[in-house]
Amino acid sequence: MIIRILVALLLVGSALAQNVVHYTTTTANVKYLFATVEPVLRLKSGDILDTNTLDCFGNGLKKPGDTLSMATGDNPLAGPFYVEGAEPGDTLAVKILDLQVDGDTGVGAFAPGFGAINETNYTPMLHAPLPERVWFYPIDHRDNTATFKALDSDFSVKIPVHPFFGCIGVAPANGEGRTSVVPAEFGGNMDSPEASVGNTVYFPVNVKGGLLYLGDGHAAMGDGEIAGTAIEVPLKARVQISVIKGRTISWPQFENDDAIMTVGAYRPVDDAVRIAFTELVHWIHKDYGLSELDAYELLSKVAKIHLNEMVDPNYVVASVEKKYLPGKKK
């Protein structure tokens, strides 16, 4: 009995030691750039942040008949959040503890000039672009599904809900401001299903405080996000933010209990894949002790890759399951 009481007290003490900070995101305080600007909140390393995010349309589309012109902007972002002690050359770790769809309806759409198999400014065609269309997805929180309802027939099908951040990243280096529509070395609009509960995302710290941004909630998305949107939803989020001093990375990374994952966000897709695998080789060599050539050979046999999306610069996740690696170096 005494042991049980002591364990309970330790657990309570641990919970109390974790500082929880709350922030409310509204259309009045969102940002549309990943940039070095005045933070909305200052956090300490280890703090837990409770916040909400808006969907990619700024929660502007509510019902059938609403159009994309009613969106308040593209991918509004919560933040930036300043993390005490984060300096260039460090790594910012964001552990995703909980994500909940904040509402009962998701939105999907495509628009002229956007999409993987639609004409764009960079792939012009003589035929007329596809017209704007908007779909609404009822969310069933009891069975954790969203329902696709065809616009041109009576077909419908349920899709499992897997909430994740479409946008998550930090301020870019060299004073740059980058639109919330693109991904790059700082993270950004990665549209990565790996940015979900149970995973930790690592970012290079480019400016003092890191300046973390969150947004563009997704309830589900297919590889490629080929029409230009996922099931777009606002989110309620809980993340724990920590600074890893002296650990320097060049691109975002993901990790969970089973795997390590790296990313490359670039065109052409060949270079995106090369970036992701080069980063994965470096990570295995640095933290798990294999030589780079041994890591390269091993990845050729057991690694996995997939395209998260094809409507921005191509974004790739390369991963390897930890069961194929040596024990992590101390």
Please report the DSSP string for 26-86 in residue order: -TTT-BSEES----SEEE-TT-EEEEEE--TTTT---STT--GGG-SSSS-EEEEEEETT-
Give 14: exposed, middle or buried? Use CB within 10 Å, 0-12, 13-18, 19+. Answer: exposed
pLDDT at res. 299? 98
Helix (H, G, I), strand (E, B) or coil at 17: helix
pLDDT at res. 9? 43
* Mean pLDDT of the chain, nearest integer: 93
Of 44-58, 117-131, 259-273, give the lowest mean pLDDT range: 117-131
HSE at residue 45, side-chain half, CA atoms within 13 A, is 14
The CA-based dihedral angle spanning residues 96, 102, 108, 114, taken in that order and rounded to the nearest 10 degrees: -50
pLDDT at res. 14? 45
Is the confidence at residue 235, as pLDDT, over 80?
Answer: yes
Is the confidence at residue 27, as pLDDT, over 90?
Answer: yes
User: What's the rounded Cα separation, in Å, for the pair 224 and 230?
Assistant: 10
The model carries a pTM of 0.93
Is the confidence at residue 170, as pLDDT, over 90?
Answer: yes
Strand order from edge to edge, sheet including 156-160: 105-110, 133-140, 145-149, 156-160
Which tokens hold the place of 168? 């998550």
Nearest to 91 by CA among 206, 204, 230: 204
pLDDT at res. 15? 45
User: What's the rounded Cα separation, in Å, for the pair 43 and 46?
Assistant: 8
Is the confidence at residue 3, as pLDDT, over 70?
Answer: no
User: What's the rounded Cα separation, in Å, for the pair 77 and 298?
Assistant: 39
pLDDT at res. 120? 82
Of 28-32, 36-40, 112-116, 298-302, give the lowest mean pLDDT range: 112-116
pLDDT at res. 128? 85
pLDDT at res. 17? 62
Which band of pLDDT confidence, cut at 50, 70 and 90, is reported for residue 123?
confident
Give the DSSP letter of residue 328: P
Is the confidence at residue 13, as pLDDT, over 50?
Answer: no
pLDDT at res. 289? 97
pLDDT at res. 261? 98
Is the confidence at residue 6, as pLDDT, over 90?
Answer: no
- CB neighbour list of residue 297: distance below 8 Å, 6 or more residues apart: none
CB atoms within 10 A of CB 324: 14
% of the chain surpassing 90 pLDDT: 84
* 118 compared with 263, residue with greater pLDDT: 263
